[in-house]
Structure 1
Amino acid sequence: MKIDGWKERLASAVQASGKSLRAISLAANAGPGYLFSVLNDGKDPSVEYLSRLCEALGVSLSYVLYGVNITPETERLMRLAEENPEARANLIAILERKPG
């Protein structure tokens, strides 16, 4: 994984959770030392395991990867925009308009 800052955001989520690395690893159905290896030994997790860690921490995968939480509404908007290119282009034009 080559996304800048993801490990720092993951570590911050771990700290905010108040849970041990071991407890989070086990909650993610990984080995007890898995999260320690990711944070301290340079192990790169698969997307599947990173997703499980995020779920165990109660944070979104998009937040850890990109620093942005995607709400259900935003996810719905993205899905609809992907399904309809013309509507997507119109929406982009609306959102790019300068107010006033």
Structure 2
Amino acid sequence: MNFLKQDTRQLGKKLISTLWFLGEHAFVATLFFVLGAGVIAALLFWQYVIFSPQAEKDGVVSEFEFREEIFNALLFQLEQEAASVEGANLLNPRDLFNPS
């Protein structure tokens, strides 16, 4: 039993000395953590911003061309709807509940 008391006392002393050491050097440890975070952020910035592939000029569509394509697509859709309305028989509507 005396061995167990001695062992817990040594563990307590080691724990107290470890906590005391960490408390004395907490500011320096915080500085190292902030410096490490800054280095990681700089590396990520370097990897994904500096070395990112640049967009080629041929691959970029101008705003005018984009709007023209959308306008033509919308015009085509409206022409299709107008053709379907013209082809519909408005005097004889179809029965929605009994399609035949």
Using structure 1 for the length normalisation, give the TM-score. Answer: 0.22
Pick the structure with more helix per residue.
2
Q: Which has the higher contact order (CA 8 A, sep 6+)?
A: 1
Higher-Rg member (1/2): 2
Using structure 2 for the length normalisation, give the TM-score. Answer: 0.22
